[in-house]
Amino acid sequence: MLDLISQIMITATGVTAIFLVARKNKWGFVIGLASAPFWFITSYLNDQWGIFVLNIAYTLN
């Protein structure tokens, strides 16, 4: 169930972020960053360690 919630939140925050950034709204970047925890959860639950490491790199960058 947690994976399903994470997938829904990744989709919702991703689409919203793209929409806002395309309209020159700086909140799009904030919403995009808000998706990071859901990427961590999904990659951890599905044993996608390459994506997990990339999440760390993107977060620190």
The 10s digit of each residue's pLDDT in 6-42 is 999 999 999 999 999 999 999 999 999 999 999 999 9
How far is residue 17 CA from its own chain's centroid? 10
Residue 19's pLDDT is 97
Task: Classify residue 25 by its DSSP letter.
Answer: -
Distance CA 2, CA 28 (A): 24
Q: Where is 61: in which H helix or E strand? A: none
**pLDDT by residue (tens digit) across 40-56?**
999 999 999 999 999 99
**Is pLDDT at 60 greater than 90 in this prediction?**
no
Query: Do 27 and 19 touch, CB atoms closer than 8 A?
Result: no
* Confidence (pLDDT) at 58: 87
* 6: enclosing H helix or E strand: helix 2-22
| Contact of 6 with 42, CB cutoff 8 Å | yes
**For the chain, how many structural domains are there in total?**
1
Residue 20: domain span: 2-60
